[in-house]
């Protein structure tokens, strides 16, 4: 177990592969608002490994360097096609790891994490190995401290993908070789560190004296900036800041103000779409209904502001370039906020789904107001069970690549034959979905409610036996009677 390269002093050999898990802890999934059905992975280069006591350099021109405390599983013997029952037999050791990531470079890697997690020194491992034969894989504690203050504290018992499942799953795809390292995901509490901060990671086995010791890393400031002529530059937005820090509050971001006041929202909830349609027609707006969509929950009213997503017809080269990883669809669902309605342009194409249960859960966790798509929905029953108000063109089991390429979001789109712009007001009920320009909404809803009062009174007169002639619409005589009764 002797290594001449000091970077790998805590490991038996220089690892041939470092495989990292995207998401595995219940606490982290709750924080992110999404929980995958199956584990997913990415590779980190062995050149990113560092030992305890090393520095990590935050590149010039960046701000979002985040730590992630993880249990590192080190393979002790070559293995292939393991099962859950035999997986731990292939593990030689466990130790602590810090899966650093630079969120400034995250968006353009589409989930591969090549640049944002592959930098030199971005994978500190150590300080000491623990013999895996002495360890229960369902009872390993992982903790992180920043400048002496506890930041993460969880246990492998809180993983929804157990360690043995991850090892067995990877072994069915390729040979796990002695010295390979599996970084098994991080719990809630990961956040941003800045130059001068000291991060300590430790794993131990509760009830024993088995510990990795403290894995210590100090953050320093780099002086070299990225070269714009060579590739994409660092770029951040409030979503990246929120995810890097762990919350809007931690990132110092103000809570987003609702686009609709409580009073206006209440009025829209009380106003039927048919009444809003009539008022918009009076103002010359006839092409404002999203046609061909039906509600999953007919009794649920939909009110919110539009956030948009556009799919274009599938073209194989475009799907290869734009369909995978952190594509426009996933970016839109990750960015949707409380009170927003995600409106999806799918050209009325019924032959493919435009969302499934995982994305519906994500939108619901973000407190979105609902979803409107003129395409299909897959996992229809599971999506319906989420309870979010959703209007669609029906059910279809196919994924995007059959008919669609996720192309762009937060742009002007066409959904159900109607133009929708980000920020438009979306209202839906069992009659359908309507789009209201924000500048008109106050007047439209006020007059629509007034018209509802009139129509209710007219309905009472008709029910009492009066003919509709002269009453609907009201002539001068009926108008005078109505106004007299409502004078007070």
Residue 379 known to bind ligand: yes
Claim to verify: residue 21 and residue 47 sit in the same structural domain: yes
- Write out the two tokens for 319: 């799907």
Residue 250 is assigned to a structural domain of this protein: no
Distance between CA atoms of 245 and 236, rounded to whole angstroms? 12
Give residue 331's pLDDT: 87
Claim to verify: residue 64 and residue 206 sit in the same structural domain: yes
Q: Are 288 and 438 in contact (CB under 8 A)?
A: no
Give residue 3's pLDDT: 60
Give residue 297's pLDDT: 94
Claim to verify: residue 311 and residue 425 sit in the same structural domain: yes
357-365 helix and 328-335 helix, angle to the nearest 10 degrees: 30
Claim to verify: residue 234 and residue 303 sit in the same structural domain: no
Residue 358 known to bind ligand: yes
Q: Which residues form the domain of 336?
A: 262-441
Residue 488 is assigned to a structural domain of this protein: no
Tell me the percentage of the chain whose pLDDT exceeds 70: 98
Last residue of a domain, one of 188, 220, 245: 245
Number of domains in the chain: 2
Residue 281 is assigned to a structural domain of this protein: yes
397 to each of 185, 377, 380, how far by Cα in Å? 31, 8, 8
Residue 452 is assigned to a structural domain of this protein: no
CA 84 centroid distance within chain: 29
Q: For position 303, which CATH number holds? A: 3.50.30.40
Residue 209 known to bind ligand: no
Tell me the percentage of the chain whose pLDDT exceeds 90: 74
- 247 or 487, higher pLDDT: 247
Confidence of residue 238 (pLDDT cuts 50, 70, 90): confident
Give residue 325's pLDDT: 76
Q: Is 448 exposed, middle or buried (0-12, 13-18, 19+ CB in 10 A)?
A: buried
The DSSP symbol for 253 reads P
Q: Give the closest residue to 96 by CA, choosing from 3, 186, 206.
A: 186
Q: Give the closest residue to 437 by CA, choosing from 288, 255, 336, 326.
A: 288
Give residue 256's pLDDT: 60
DSSP3 helix / strand / coil % (the chain, rounded to 5): 30, 30, 45
Pairing of strands 54-58, 215-221: parallel
Average pLDDT over residues 213-218: 97
Q: Return the residue matching tokens 């509709």.
A: 468
Claim to verify: residue 239 and residue 282 sit in the same structural domain: no
Claim to verify: residue 366 and residue 232 sit in the same structural domain: no
- 256 or 100, higher pLDDT: 100
Residue 383 has pLDDT above 80, yes or no: yes
Least confident range from 81-85, 229-233, 417-421, 442-446: namely 229-233
- 464 or 304, higher pLDDT: 304
Claim to verify: residue 237 and residue 269 sit in the same structural domain: no
Report the alpha-carbon angle 235-182-161, nearest 5: 90
Last residue of a domain, one of 245, 271, 306: 245
Give residue 471's pLDDT: 81
Claim to verify: residue 20 and residue 158 sit in the same structural domain: yes
Helix (H) or strand (E) holding 305: strand 302-313
Give residue 258's pLDDT: 60
Claim to verify: residue 315 and residue 166 sit in the same structural domain: no
Residue 359 known to bind ligand: yes
Across the chain, mean pLDDT equals 92
Residue 465 is assigned to a structural domain of this protein: no
Claim to verify: residue 237 and residue 309 sit in the same structural domain: no
Give tens-digit pLDDT for 101-119: 999 998 777 678 999 999 9
Claim to verify: residue 230 and residue 269 sit in the same structural domain: no
Q: Are 145 and 89 in contact (CB under 8 A)?
A: no
Residue 179 has pLDDT above 60, yes or no: yes
Report the alpha-carbon angle 88-132-20, nearest 5: 65
Residues ≥6 apart with Cβ < 8 Å to 298: 430
Residue 457 is assigned to a structural domain of this protein: no
Residue 2 has pLDDT above 60, yes or no: no
This prediction's pTM: 0.60
Q: Are 66 and 101 in contact (CB under 8 A)?
A: yes
Q: For position 18, which CATH number holds? A: 3.90.850.10
The DSSP symbol for 237 reads -
Report the alpha-carbon angle 258-260-262, nearest 5: 95
Residue 423 is assigned to a structural domain of this protein: yes
Last residue of a domain, one of 401, 422, 441: 441
DSSP string, 386-432: H---EEES-B----GGGTEEEEEESS-EEETTEEE-TT-EEEEETTE
Claim to verify: residue 417 and residue 318 sit in the same structural domain: yes
Average pLDDT over residues 382-389: 95
Backbone phi, then psi, for 5, in 5-degree steps? -80, 120
Residue 480 is assigned to a structural domain of this protein: no
Give residue 451's pLDDT: 85
């Amino acid at each position: 177990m002797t290594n001449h390269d000091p970077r790998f002093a805590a490991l038996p050999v220089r690892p041939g592969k470092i495989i990292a898990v995207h998401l595995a802890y219940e606490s982290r999934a709750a924080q992110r608002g999404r929980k995958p059905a199956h584990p997913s992975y990415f590779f980190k280069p062995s050149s990113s490994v560092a030992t305890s006591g090393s520095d990590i350099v935050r590149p010039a021109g960046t701000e979002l360097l985040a730590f992630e405390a993880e249990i590192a599983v080190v393979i002790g013997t070559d293995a292939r096609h393991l099962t859950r029952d035999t997986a731990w037999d292939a593990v030689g050791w466990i130790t602590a790891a810090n899966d650093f990531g630079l969120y400034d470079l995250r968006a353009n890697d589409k989930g591969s994490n090549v640049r944002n997690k592959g930098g030199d020194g971005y994978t500190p491992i150590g300080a000491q190995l623990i013999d895996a034969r002495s360890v229960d894989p369902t009872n390993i504690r992982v903790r992180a401290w920043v400048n002496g203050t506890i930041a993460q504290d969880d246990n492998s018992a809180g993983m929804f993908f157990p360690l043995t499942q991850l090892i067995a799953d990877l072994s069915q795809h390729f040979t796990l070789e002695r010295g390979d390292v599996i970084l098994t995901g991080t719990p809630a509490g990961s956040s941003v560190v800045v130059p001068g901060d000291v991060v300590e990671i430790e794993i131990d086995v509760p009830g024993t004296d088995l510990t990795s010791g403290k894995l210590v890393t100090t953050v320093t400031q780099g002086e070299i900036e990225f070269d714009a002529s060579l590739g994409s530059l660092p770029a951040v937005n409030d979503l990246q800041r929120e995810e890097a820090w762990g919350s809007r509050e931690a990132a110092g971001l103000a809570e987003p103000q609702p686009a609709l006041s409580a009073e206006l929202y209440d009025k829209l909830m009380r106003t039927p779409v048919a009444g809003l349609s009539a008022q918009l027609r009076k103002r010359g707006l006839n092409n404002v209904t999203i046609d061909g969509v039906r509600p999953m929950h007919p009794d649920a009213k939909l009110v919110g502001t539009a956030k948009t997503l556009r799919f274009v017809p599938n073209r194989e080269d475009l799907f290869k370039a734009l369909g995978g990883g952190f594509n426009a669809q996933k970016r839109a669902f990750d960015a949707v906020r409380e009170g927003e309605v995600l409106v999806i342009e799918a050209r009325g194409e019924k032959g493919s789904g435009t969302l499934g249960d995982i994305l519906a859960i994500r939108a619901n966790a973000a407190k979105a107001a609902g979803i409107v798509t003129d395409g299909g929905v897959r996992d229809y029953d599971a999506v319906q069970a989420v309870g979010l108000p959703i209007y669609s063109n029906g059910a279809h089991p196919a994924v995007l690549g059959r008919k669609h390429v996720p192309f762009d979001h937060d742009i002007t789109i066409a959904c159900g034959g109607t133009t929708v712009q980000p920020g438009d007001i979306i209202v839906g009920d069992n009659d359908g979905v309507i789009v209201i320009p924000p500048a008109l909404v106050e007047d439209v809803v006020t007059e629509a409610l007034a018209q509802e009062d009139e129509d209710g009174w007219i309905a009472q007169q008709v029910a009492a036996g009066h003919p509709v002639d002269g009453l609907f619409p009201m002539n001068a005589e009926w108008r005078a009677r109505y106004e007299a009764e409502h004078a007070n």
